[in-house]
Structure 1
Amino acid sequence: MTNTREPTRAAKQRRPLFLRRGPMENIATALIAAGFLMLFQPFLLALYTYSLAMLLTGTVMFIIVSKFPE
């Protein structure tokens, strides 16, 4: 007989948080949304100044993280 045990939940979660696809995609999406809101707000020039950098960071992060295994 062979022992065909499925990996336990603890074995599936051995990756650190920054290497997990789900949470990192959520963070990247939040960065994109924050950059979008910063771009279209009329109050602070500093927020407008860094909005493009925030959008680009979130987009590149999302592209990289979407290649991680689930």
Structure 2
Amino acid sequence: MKRDLVDELYKIAYKRYREKYPNKDFASIPNFLDSLWFSIEGELNRNGYDAARKYAEEAELIVLR
């Protein structure tokens, strides 16, 4: 169940990155996608669903080069 919630929120955050960096190959950045997933999971574990959703929707995006 928790994994489903993290996956749902991950899709939101991933979409934000995809909109900001439409041509970026995220898989080529070591551990980027895993780090994104685990940061959302950590927020969910520490502060609950509402905080994790806000994090996925509004957190400042990491600058990717």
Q: Shorter-chain-normalised TM-score: which range?
A: 0.3 to 0.5
TM, length-normalised to structure 1: 0.32
